[in-house]
Amino acid sequence: MRSIAQRNSAQVTDNAELVQRDGHHYTYRFRYQNSSTKTQVGTILCGSSAGFHVTLKTVRQCRVSSRMEPNGFPSRTSILTAAARAFGSREPDASVRNPDWVADRLIGPDELALIADHPISKAFDRDFQEAIHDPDVFGFAWLMLVRTRCIDELMERAVHNGATQLVILGAGFDTRAHRFTELLKDVAVFEIDYGATQEYKKQRVKAALGGAPANVAYSPIDFARERLGEVLRRAGFESRRKTYYICEGLSMYVPEERSVAPNP
């Protein structure tokens, strides 16, 4: 894509390169000159409701943000789903509370700022009972409640039935390795996601929780381009061991020919 017009006092000097697509959000890396005329590298996040075709117009509407350095930029949807679990974990009624109390530790002001335009972000500043009656909030929070509880339960069952490896595809800010330390103490956990999301998560996990348990391996992948089997083998996955796979909120982002490939 050719260079873009001036924005936030930064003149883009080079072609913008698409480095990540996450649903309808696109991250471009580009070079720009700021007011001190130093050439720098930055990223832009493009939100487009127009589908997968990013137009120059969309890019012109993008925000240049120095906070989003290359390799430091997490998937927006991973923050959104974790925020919905974190919010749901504040539910006073235990019968409909999301069990993901760890998400509430990971999602802090910086993460909420990344999704500031979404109602779930604003919900954290509102009275819980008032916010949970907002349709944009309860729909999302309750979707996550069902997802979290259902997958937690199936995972527990699988480990009790002998699974000794857990592969979490498109893990984002999945917290099961932290919430189920006792259950998973003899289980090798492989978290698979974009490298940038994993790097951000690792830093956040270190700051908020002191680090990840020793049995967790973060294995970067781009599902659209790489083979899961190869990535797993490099991470120490053993195909003979009984394995439980979690694929939560991922398949809609992966091209169909990759997600149904018989030998991924």
Ligand X SMILES: C[S@@+](CC[C@H](N)C(=O)[O-])C[C@H]1O[C@@H](n2cnc3c(N)ncnc32)[C@H](O)[C@@H]1O
Give me the sign of the Cα torsion angle 230, 236, 242, 247. Answer: negative
The CB-of-255 to ligand X minimum distance in angstroms stands at 8
H helix or E strand, kind and range, residue 247: strand 243-247
Binding positions for ligand X, rule: CB under 6 A: 22, 75, 77-78, 81-82, 170-174, 193-194, 197, 221-224, 248-250, 253-254
The CB-of-10 to ligand X minimum distance in angstroms stands at 26
Looking at the Cβ atoms of 85 and 132, the one nearer to ligand X is: 85
Looking at the Cβ atoms of 50 and 224, the one nearer to ligand X is: 224
Looking at the Cβ atoms of 42 and 170, the one nearer to ligand X is: 170
Cross-strand bridge partners of residue 189: 166, 216
- Cα maximum dimension of the chain: 62
The CB-of-223 to ligand X minimum distance in angstroms stands at 4
- Of 245, 258, 261, 250, give the one whose Cα is nearest residue 168: 245
- Nearest residue to the partner ligand X, using Cβ: 172
What are the backbone angles phi and psi of residue 44, rounded to the nearest 5°?
-130, 145
H helix or E strand, kind and range, residue 199: helix 195-209
The CB-of-100 to ligand X minimum distance in angstroms stands at 9
Looking at the Cβ atoms of 3 and 253, the one nearer to ligand X is: 253
Looking at the Cβ atoms of 166 and 221, the one nearer to ligand X is: 221
What are the backbone angles phi and psi of residue 148, rounded to the nearest 5°?
-65, -50
Strands 11-12 and 17-22: unpaired
The CB-of-240 to ligand X minimum distance in angstroms stands at 26
DSSP letter string over 140-178?
HHHHHHHHHHHHHHHHHHHHHTT--EEEEET-TT--HHH
The CB-of-30 to ligand X minimum distance in angstroms stands at 21
Looking at the Cβ atoms of 12 and 196, the one nearer to ligand X is: 196
The CB-of-7 to ligand X minimum distance in angstroms stands at 25
H helix or E strand, kind and range, residue 29: strand 25-33
Say if CB 35 and CB 45 are below 8 A apart: no
Looking at the Cβ atoms of 10 and 176, the one nearer to ligand X is: 176
